[in-house]
Structure formats: C-alpha cells, structure tokens
Amino acid sequence: MKSAEQFQHKKILILGLAKSGEAAARLLLRLGAHIVVNDAKPYDENEQAQQLEKEGVPVVCGGHPLSLVDEGFDLIVKNPGIPYTNPIILAAQEKEIEVVTEIELAYLLSEAEIIAISGSNGKTTTTTLVYEMLHGGARTPLIAGNIGTVACEVAEQANADDVLVLEVSSFQLQGTTSFKPKVSVLLNLFDAHLDYHGTKEAYVQAKAKITANQTEEDLFVYNADDPLVAAVAATSAARLLPFSLKRELPEGVSCQDQVISYRGEPIIHTDEIVLPGAHNIENILAAIGAALSMGAVREQIVKVLTSFSGVAHRLEFVREVNGRRFYNDSKATNILASQKALEAFEQPIILLAGGLDRGNEFDELVPSLKNVRTLITFGETKHKLAKAAKAAGIETILFAEWVEDAVKKAYQQSAENDVILLSPACASWDQYKTFEERGSRFAEAVMALNG
C-alpha cells in the first residue's frame, strides 16, 4: 500500500455510510486518520453507525447538519449516492474542503496498476470479461468498484504484481481529483442519471474524468462509433486505442465479417462466442483491447469468450418452462440497456418492465418494442411504459403490483417459444433496495412456476 502516511492525523468526514462509506471509514481508521461519520439514517436504525461508535468513532445520524462543515475537516469522503446539491457539499466547496469518493482513496493507496471501466451501459459485463481474460497472465487480476466489492478495500491489499480492474460509475468519477488509471475504458454515453447530474453535459464531464489525468504513459480504450465518447477521446492526453463495430481499425479493435481483430490480427470468430446479444460484441472489443494492453494471454481470451455466458442480472438465462425461456435483465436500469436486451432476441417477447420514475418518458424505447407482443408493467413508471407500449402497437398491456406478480401474469399470457424477459428500463429503488434484489425475486418466482 502506497502513500498511507498522507492520511495519518488528518481529520476526515465520512459523509454517508452504506458499503463504501463503512469501508472508507475502517480503512482511514487503520491509517491513523481522525474520522467522523455522518449518515442520514437515524441512529436507532443504523447498525453500521452503532458498531463504529462502539469502536470509538464519533457518529452523527439522522440528517446532515451544516455545522459539521465548521469542524475543521481536511477532507470529506462522500458516498457516491449523495448528490452534489447536498448543503454540506455546497458549504464544503465554499470553504475549499476537498470532497472525494472512495475510488480516489483506492487510487492513492493502490500499488497495483488500475484498469478503470465506465460507460452508460455494459460496465459490469466488460469489467468481468477483462478480469477473466487477465487470468493466466504475468500479473494477478483483482476486481472491485461499482461491481460489488469496495475499491479501497481491495486496493489496500493489492501489490505491484497485481492488476486492479475497477468498474466505475459517473457518481464515483465525479468525486475524483487525482484518479489516474493505467488503462481507462469508456464504452458509450447517452442520457442517464440526469436526476443526479442535472444536465447531460455534467454527466459527460463526470464520465470524462476517467481519462482526465492520464498522460502518454497511459492508455484510453474508447468507442469510436459513439460521437460523445470520441469527443472525450479527442481531449485525452493518453495513447488512444479505438474499438468499432462499424469499420475496420488497423490500429484498434474491430469486428469485420464476423471476425474480431486486434491491431489487424484475428482473435476469434463471433460464432464461437457464447455471450448472447449483438451489443455484447462492443463490450468484448473493449475488453480485448484493455486485457491485451495489460499482458493478457490470447489463449485465455479465446477460452473466456467461448465459455463466459454473462453476469448475474444481465441477460441471465434463468429457466425454460414448457418452451418458454425466462431471462433476468434486472441490471437494465435505463432505456438503452433495455433496448440492447430487446434487440438480442428474434423470438416473440413478453416484457416485464417498470420501476423508479426519474422524470423521463419512454419514447426512445418504442422502436425496440417491435418483437414485444405483451407488456407487463409495474412500479412508478407503469403508466408511462404503457403509453410507450400503445405507441408501439402492443395490444396486450397488463399491470402488476410486484415483479413476482408480473412473472405469473407473463406465464399465463405466454406461448411456446416465447421469451419472457425482465428488462425494467428503470432503477429499482421505488420497490426494491437494489436491482439484485429485484432480479432475485424474479428468478425465485420463475423457479416456483409449475412447468
């Protein structure tokens, strides 16, 4: 672990707990920092805060009192979910107190070089692919970040013989100042999280921080088919490695005539790839570029692509019941993700969708509903999705209370050879704590069907 002494005796506010806040608090305690924890959840309901207090950490629960900013903090480590409109953040910025997320700590402490992967969609799949592709190479891959394991926890244990593969979100990236991955990957950019960032421009700026501090000693792997991503690449000081589905790239990664090539050398024919969905070819191109640049063995890349069938809750096959195939795509928390899922199938689809209302309409989803013959919708957005379904000419539109109810109705409406697809196009937080919980509930309901 490098630069650990920089936090010794520093006064640091941990703003927001959850997994990342608790991990950052415990790490900074071990490094000799003086920390205070502030979390909005009331103390009586806050087991994390109670435990930290037992260990001697001052905790402030039940809100975010502005008076905290006047207590002389050197640094604030912010939970990614807390928006920058929070009064404490605004007051801290006025006082020029640095505000970061825990991936900044991970970068400052990690002896391992970092591959950071971001984009509006495909982050988890690409991160997992890169991690798997790096096995058997010269260095040991470690995986962390937005994918589940807190980055600073893994970074603390990493050494120079490791490679730290991080999935990073716009929320996390916005809270960075010196974050500088050896390899950064930007998959795509479109309207997402505007309720958090305020504008598309602010969202793109947050994503662009993945390469903002890179130099010519680093590499930026980017989607040359996405104009917004290409614009970010034009501002990067890193060496550039483009990938494209639309054209051959002799100095990049591309797919022509169903053959994926890296710098002009064939890697694999797409018929050999088991991961479903045309959109995943883009993720594969990016993963190959990142993995090979960090010393992956080509035989391992082929092995991964001929065996890896996907990550949990991302177009995950659950079960076949009387000729109906059920897929869990609960991680599709925005429109583009659901578009990609819908385009992965040629069979008739019964779509289960709905969730948190972030203020957007679903007009962009309409062209992708051509194979959908029944929509079963739930959550805050159910009426908006029903409106989009009507615009697409879908005649059967049903409402459900929960995703479990939607599974039963979907099976009742289905016929042999149908695909029954959970791809919500929305976040889960109106009804479920996480998209994982929503997907697990879906899978449990599918397994409970009497086929």
Is the pLDDT at 217 greater than 70? The verdict is yes
Q: pLDDT tier at 192 (50, 70, 90 boundaries)?
A: low
Confidence class for position 343, pLDDT limits 50, 70, 90: confident
3-state secondary structure of 240: strand
Range with lowest mean pLDDT among 8-22, 35-49, 274-288, 418-432: 274-288
- The predicted pLDDT at position 312 comes to 76
Quick check: 313 and 382 in contact, CB under 8 A? no
User: Tell me, what's the pLDDT at 387?
Assistant: 97
**pLDDT one-digit tens code per residue, 426-440:** 999 999 999 999 999
Q: Which residues are annotated as a binding site for ATP?
A: 119-125
Q: Say how far residue 4 (Cα) sits from the centre of its chain.
A: 28
pLDDT in tens, 368-379: 999 999 999 999
Distance CA 118, CA 294 (A): 17
Mean pLDDT within 42-54: 95
- Rounded to an integer, the average pLDDT of 182-187 is 98
Give residue 92's pLDDT: 95
What is the pLDDT averaged over residues 308-333? 89
The predicted structure's pLDDT at residue 450: 82
Binding site membership: which residues? 119-125
Q: What confidence tier does 191 reach under pLDDT thresholds 50, 70, 90? A: low
What's residue 17's pLDDT? 92
Mean of pLDDT values over 165-194: 91
At residue 1, does pLDDT exceed 80?
Answer: no
Q: Is the pLDDT reported for residue 194 higher than 70? A: no
According to the model, what pLDDT value does residue 371 have? Answer: 93
pLDDT (mean) for 156-160: 94
pLDDT of amino acid 413: 96
Position 193 scores a pLDDT of 63
Tell me the mean pLDDT in the region 100-113.
96
Name the band, by pLDDT with cuts 50, 70 and 90, for residue 190.
Answer: confident
Flag whether pLDDT at 264 surpasses 70. Answer: yes
Packed helices 279-293 and 123-133: angle between N→C axes, nearest 10 degrees:
40
Amino acid, single-letter form, for residue 443: A
pLDDT band at 199 (very low <50, low <70, confident <90, very high): confident
Kindly state the helix (H) or strand (E) to which residue 254 belongs, with its residue range.
strand 253-256
Query: 408-439 burial by CB neighbour count: b if 16+ within 10 A, else e?
Result: ebbbebbeeebbbbbbbbbbbbebbeebeebb
Q: What is the pLDDT of residue 309?
A: 79
Q: Give pLDDT, residue 81.
A: 86
The pLDDT confidence band at residue 16, using thresholds 50, 70 and 90, is very high
Average pLDDT of 203-220?
Answer: 97
Domains and CATH numbers, the chain: 10-100 (3.40.50.720), 103-305 (3.40.1190.10), 316-447 (3.90.190.20)
| % of the chain with per-residue pLDDT over 70 | 98
Q: What is the pLDDT of residue 451?
A: 60
What value does the mean pLDDT of the chain take? 94
State the DSSP string of 35-53: EEEEESS-GGG-HHHHHHH
Question: What was the pLDDT predicted at 148?
Answer: 73
Is the pLDDT at 278 greater than 90, yes or no? no
- Identity of the amino acid at 82: I
pLDDT confidence band for 49 (50 / 70 / 90)? very high
What pLDDT, on a 0 to 100 scale, did the predictor assign at position 383? Answer: 97
Q: Are 162 and 109 in contact (CB under 8 A)?
A: no
Mean pLDDT of 354-370: 94
Rounded Cα gap, residues 145 and 163, in angstroms: 13
Give the lowest-confidence range in 35-49, 53-67, 266-280.
266-280
The C-alpha atoms of residue 443 and residue 451 are separated, in whole angstroms, by 14
CA-to-CA distance for 16 and 433, rounded, in angstroms? 16
